[in-house]
Structure 1
Amino acid sequence: MNETLFLTHAKRVSLSGGLFDNANYAALVIDPIEDRVMMAAEPCARYFGEDADSLLQRRPSELFRSVLAELHVLTEACLIGPGRWQSEFLLKTPNGRTYEIDCHAALSTPEGQSYITMLLFDARRQRKRMARAEFAALHRGEPDAVRRADQMFRELEHGNKLLLDAAGEGIYGVNKLGETTFVNPAAERMLGWKADEIVGKVAHDVIHHSHACGDDYPIHQCPIYLAFKDGEVHEVRGEVFWRKDGSSFPVEYTSTPIEDDNKLVGAVVVFRDISKQQKQENQLRKALAEVEQLRTRLEMEKAYLLDELEERHNRHEIVGSSPAIAQTVEQIDLVAPTEATVLITGESGTGKELIAHAIHNASPRRDRPLIRVNCAAIPAELFESEFFGHVKGAFTGAVSARAGRFELADGGTLFLDEVGELPLEQQGKLLRVLQEQQFERVGDTRTMKVDVRVIAATNRELRHSIMEKSFREDLYFRLAVFPIHSAPLRDRREDIPPLATLFMKRAVERLNRTTAPQLSVANINQLQAYDWPGNIRELENVIERAVILSRSGKLAFDLPKPSETDVRPAALAGENQETDELADTQAVAAQSMQIITSRSDLQRAEIEAIRAALMECAGKVSGPGGAAERLAMKPTTLYSRLKKLKIDARSFKP
């Protein structure tokens, strides 16, 4: 029975009749007003997954949930329209399959009730039956021509199959309903599906239903289906296809529309797995990021090193031979090869940074930079950014990522100058990094681990600060693993001559003087008589100022005059015999008024002055009219100098 005859008969049938008992069609009778299923033929189970009796308990709106709009149009057309309607739609069944349905509906009114009888046909099967029927008719009409055409089509199909099988890229086709029509072997290998498992299924539901993150990918947003709606070729990158085992892989694909008789009937999708390419790109991006990070770090290190080169302090040696300097050098030699944290204490201008450089240069970390941080110059709100760095956009003004001082010092040494000025609330953050050697950049969640040796310096008495609750005791003990005291210049006056000579040479070079002024014994005596509250830094500035003001090679120092109780270094040092001796040596040398340019010149002048005094006194050392009186020296000091200089006073007696 064809559809037209069936629907004509359905208009006249009573609900109590046996029309559906042995029906070969998927047929339903529904009450559109009450939303009820009145009758159902057994073939309906194919589409709804339930037998006829179960379907009587369901509502049409539930059975046709996926095509409610089409159902509404169909019922309206039957009730208030021509009384019959034909529609095609995609019906999604409970078991997950999708059918292309060709639905024929007609209105019947038994006993004054309005019912709609629906016939549901599988459109794909119908097309195949029609094609076979047409082909059979063609065979009957012109056998030879049909056989030739059939042979030609078979050869074309074989050639196409060879091309599809040989292609390294995945290829599959979809019809206008989104159903898979063919799959080549490469696509089978990549997807894990066999062709017979997915042909006839909606391709999007099988391999393209979700984004990489797992979010639902609606079919109406899929570029593959846009191809046979807008007729454009769509090239897509950055999406994923899903395998049969539930895993996914990144793809790039092209969806090309297929036309038949100027009608869009489907699309061909060509795709390839770009996992390896994406991995290589990610590795390249990571490498470029590391190179950029290294470049930024090297540029910052270069800037720091240039700043260091512009500093006027001597980075290569500690000048002086006093006991205080000898002790400092010995401490440097002991601690430099270790990883111990060092705390350098002393007044401003005593050369604490010079000691830090000496420790670093004598350590195994000498090939990495020494990064200096002036803790007193960093605002509290910028502490974390300065020490630990920040990422781009971490705060207003952070237009790019920036490495912090700890990151720059990785593998090297971090010098915390004026550490006693660090705000109390920031000391805990510093302590954590010193203990754990790890931190996070501002605005970043990634923890960075570093290998940094810390040397700290301060001109404050940190123990007093601990008592005043302005410095953490635990941070003090973490820093003061190996303390070194930088002695003030007034406690090592014997180092003033070589320091003055060095600073004068630097000043002459810096000022581009053609002739260098000379240091006299009187100049040295004046420098040693001063207390130097500004220590070595003040001495350097005084020397430079004197060089600028020098005339005719003579130097004049603008220094306060010593008090009556502080005329000579010997009065300051008291029991320090070596200091007394050196001061007396300067006094002896001053008798000759020679020009002093080095320590050896000073010693020669001293010897000549002593020999001259002994000759005049006929070898008498002490007592009235003796050489000690003439040289204004203590007799004990002169005897000590004679022994040290290996001068025999007896050789001057008549």
Structure 2
Amino acid sequence: MLVIDPQADRVADANAAAERLLGLTRADLCAAPASALFPDQRAALVVFTQGVLAKGQWWTHDLRPRHGAEKALRLEAAGSALSGETATILITLFDLDERERRRIDREADEHMRAGLPEWQRMERIFRDIERENRLILRAAGEGIYGVNADGLTTFVNPAAERMLGWASADLVCRDMHAAVHHTHADGGPYPHRDCPIYAAFRDGAVRQVEDEVFWRRDGTCFPVEYTSTPIRDRGQLLGAVIVFRDVSQRREAEARLKAALAEVDSLRERLEQENAYLKEEIRAESHHQGIIGRSPAIEAVLRQIDVVAGTDATVLVTGESGTGKELIARAIHEASRRRDRPLIRVNCAAIPRDLFESEFFGHARGAFTGALRDRVGRFELAEAGTLFLDEVGEIPLDLQGKLLRVLQERQFERVGEARTRTVDVRLIAATNRDLREEVRRGRFREDLYFRLNVFPLTSIPLRERREDVPLLAGHFLKGAARRLNRPDLRLTEADARRLARYDWPGNVRELENVIERAAILAERGRLRFDLPESRPSGPAAIPMETATEDQRPLSEEGRRLRARAEIEAALRISGGKVFGAGGAAELLGLRPTTLMSRMKVLGVARP
């Protein structure tokens, strides 16, 4: 007990029990401030004393008084307010550890007083528990055995007997490691010191192992998963209990599942990439479904396509940019026996130099920085189909030899992989370069050129088949009208003649862009073309007409008469109006000043 004056922060008195509990003499206790007995707990002490003064009585477990020998104390403090002139309180300190010991001693004493009947009852309980444990061990599907601190077997349950092929009597009191755990799966020796089962009762840690084997009596082994749990009695390690299971069937099922999943992943990756490439290649516009034109040049190209499509010969399509080389390649593929397999397109001009080999042949995981998984190359994607190499002249010279090897031997290796793969691919190459000149300059391998040039096919520029321009323009206009939701757009005869006069350096691609731009700029259904004027073919700037329906070209005088008749007809339709909407210039697709100049040259009078 301590008597404390909170106002003066001093200990007024202390009894002998307080001296023993706190390890300080009464003089030391009274000489020190009361708050010094509770270091770093001033706030808790203030709350406690105020509670005692306010309520008359209070208690807490939060106060930890200082002990003279720095001994940790677990106490309960109960306070009572004392009557008198000064506000003093009596604090009673209870040693909780001592209280717990007294409680345990009291219960032990009561238990002892119960006498022999209680001991007999406990013995029956333990016998029942032991019998139940034996039943559990016999019924358990896992193998269970115990070992003592010397590594000798103490018991083996029936499931362990069945799995190991040993009788319990043959294993008890034997070194279990030497009997069933003596060798690794590969036949290597397994020393006692490395065995996790014995480590469990050496250091007291539970061991869980998933990749070892136990050996049967007949000398065969089987994969197991086991847990080794140490047994303690009053802190002393006595041995361990091992629970194990045979995982042979599960490992076999996992291996089959892993193989199946690997195959599924490979097929899924291939299908995903095929789908991605096919989506990239498919276009909604109908002009990607066939070649449009009835000119003799186009008819000749179509005949060549029919001839070569039925074979697996390599085709080299040459021609200017925008002439439809890819369309020819697609037409060959669709007419071939490989049409049910994909046509994989590779734009050689768009592939970075460092990625050519990976893009063509694929790579293995870890082949280079960023190769996080296996990748299927374009050759492998095109298996049993067609591979279209656009802009083949852009392939780096040092990689052309590898491409030649694939074409000749039908074999390749992925980057970072030693396995040689066989491929069945039909190759179509296209270029707008003169490969013969590239070979002469040393920028293209001659042997590769001859390997590609098995069946050469030329894509005709638009200026050499002007009679196809109206057909193509009408086709593109339908697509543009549908996309722009402009059903009123129309292509007049004058528009068609003007388009046919232009030389089209960008070929079909330029024509399509011009048609779409004219459709966007159209007013009241009339297309507005933004084309440079064609160069005059004679002394006068007279339009160069396309061939007549019977394909016979007009003479110079005939073209002058035809142009004069067209202008006079336009003036009659417009009522003599040249400028503005509905005027003759608009009907003919000419600038008004150009029309006036041609009227003057041809001698056409304005009504």
Same fold judged by TM-score > 0.5? yes
1:281 equivalent to 2:254? Answer yes
Could you list the runs of 5+ residues in structure 2 that have no partner in the other structure? Answer: 1-126, 571-607
Q: CA deviation at 1:395?
A: 2.7
Counterpart residue number, 1:409? 382
Map 1:130-529 onto structure 2 (within 5 A): 169-180=142-153, 190=163, 202-212=175-185, 217-231=190-204, 233-242=206-215, 248-257=221-230, 264-310=237-283, 314-520=287-493, 522-529=494-501
What's the offset of the Cα at 1:386? 1.9
Tell me whether 1:558 sits opposite 2:541 in the alignment.
Answer: no
> Could you say if the C-alpha distance between residues 184 and 436 of structure 1 is closer, same or farther in structure 2, counting changes exceeding 3 Å?
farther
Cα shift readout 1:242-299 (whole Å, capped 9, x = no counterpart): 4567764321123344568986444343323212212222332333344344444444
Corresponding position of 1:546: 518
3-state SS in 1 of match to 2:212:
strand
1:172–1:181 Cα contact (<8 Å) kept = yes
- Displacement of 1:381 in angstroms is 0.7
Distance 1:209 1:346, change over 3 A: farther
Name the stretch that deviates more: 564-573 or 255-264.
Answer: 564-573
The within-5 A match list for 1:13-24 is none
**How far apart, in 1, do the equivalents of 2:243 and 2:296 lie?**
85
**Any idea what the Cα deviations from partners look like across 1:28-82, whole Å, max 9, x if unmatched?**
xxxxxxxxxxxxxxxxxxxxxxxxxxxxxxxxxxxxxxxxxxxxxxxxxxxxxxx
CA distance in 1, matches of 2:453, 2:216: 62
In structure 2, relative to structure 1, the CA distance for the partners of 1:325 and 1:182 (3 Å cut) is same
Paired position in structure 2 for 1:620:
none
Cα shift at 1:393:
4.0
2:41 matched residue in structure 1: none
Question: What's the counterpart of residue 634 of structure 1?
Answer: none
Structural mapping, 1:99-110, within 5 Å: none
Amino acid paired to 2:521: L
Kindly indicate whether the alpha-carbon contact (under 8 Å) linking 1:568 and 1:583 is maintained by their aligned counterparts in 2.
no
3-state SS of 1:564 partner: coil
Deviations 1:483-534 (A, max 9, x none): 32212222222211201111222223333335203232x3333333333222
Counterpart residue identity of residue 351, structure 1 = G
* Contact 2:361–2:379 under 8 Å retained in 1: yes
Separation in 1 of the partners of 2:146 and 2:349? 72
User: Once the 2 structures are TM-superposed, how far is the Cα of residue 477 of structure 1 from its aligned partner?
Assistant: 3.4
The CA distance in 2 between the partners of 1:586 and 1:179, in whole Å, is 117
CA distance in 1, matches of 2:241, 2:255: 30
After superposing the two structures, state which structure 1 stretch, 483-492 or 299-308, moved more.
299-308
**Secondary structure of 1:314's match?**
helix
Mapped to 2, the partners of 1:171 and 1:347 lie a distance apart of: 81
In 2: Cα distance, 1:209 partner to 1:269 partner: 16
3-state SS of the aligned residue for 1:366?
coil
In structure 1, what is the Cα distance between the partners aligned to 2:214 and 2:546?
89
> What per-residue deviation string (whole Å, max 9, x for no partner) do you get for residues 107-157 of structure 1?
xxxxxxxxxxxxxxxxxxxxxxxxxxxxxxxxxxxxxxxxxxxxxx9xx99
* Contact 2:501 2:545 (8 Å CA) reproduced: no
Residues 177/461 of structure 1: CA separation in 2 closer, same or farther (3 Å cut): same
The separation in 1 between residues aligned to 2:559 and 2:272, in whole angstroms, is: 50
Distance 2:288 2:258 in 1: 40
Please state whether the residue corresponding to 1:383 is helix, strand or coil: helix
Pair 1:554–1:176, CA change in 2 (3 A): closer
Q: CA deviation at 1:448?
A: 4.6
Distance 1:446 1:282, change over 3 A: farther
**Are residue 536 (structure 1) and residue 508 (structure 2) matched?**
yes
| Structure 1 stretch displaced more, 238-247 or 464-473 | 238-247
Structure 2 letter corresponding to 1:479 = L
Q: Alignment length, in residue pairs?
A: 439
Question: By how many angstroms is 1:373 displaced?
Answer: 1.0
Question: How much has 1:326 moved relative to structure 2?
Answer: 1.6
Cα distance in 2, alignment partners of residues 583 and 311 from structure 1: 43
Tell whether the 8 Å contact from 1:371 to 1:408 is kept in structure 2 after alignment: yes
3-state SS of the aligned residue for 1:344?
strand
**For 2:559 and 2:345, how far apart are their aligned partners in 1?**
39
Give deviations 1:285-329, integer Å, cap 9, x for gaps.
333344344444444334333333457672211101122222222
Contact 1:315 1:358 in 2 (8 A): no
2: CA distance, partners of 1:261 / 1:555: 101
Instruction: State the TM-score, normalized to the length of structure 2.
Output: 0.61
Sequence identity (%): 59
Change (3 A) 1:424 1:274: same
Q: Distance in 2 between matches of 1:490 and 1:414?
A: 29
Instruction: Rate the CA distance shift 1:336–1:194 in 2: closer, same or farther, 3 A.
Output: farther
Structure 1: how far apart are the matches of 2:454 and 2:173? Answer: 78
Contact 1:420-1:471 at 8 Å conserved across structures: yes
Shift of 1:336: 2.8
Q: How far does the alpha carbon of each residue in 1:319-371 deviate from its partner, in whole angstroms, 9 at most, with x for none?
A: 01122222222232233343333221212111000111112223333333322
What's the TM-score, normalizing by structure 1?
0.57
Does the CA-based 8 Å contact 2:542-2:560 persist in structure 1? no
> What is the one-letter code of the residue matched to 1:395?
F
Verify the 8 A CA contact 1:570 1:580 in the aligned structure 2.
no
For 1:171 and 1:231, the matched residues in 2 are separated by 19
Aligned to 2:288, what secondary structure does the other structure show? coil
Q: Deviations over 1:177-206 (max 9, x none)?
A: 334566667656655778788776643345
**SS of the residue aligned with 1:471?**
coil
Tell me, yes or no, if the aligned pair for 1:489 and 1:532 is still in contact at 8 Å.
yes
Mapping 1:48-87, distance limit 5 Å: none
- What RMSD over aligned residues (CA atoms) do the two structures have, in Å? 4.3
Following the alignment from structure 2 to structure 1, what is the Cα–Cα distance between the partners of residues 445 and 513? Answer: 36
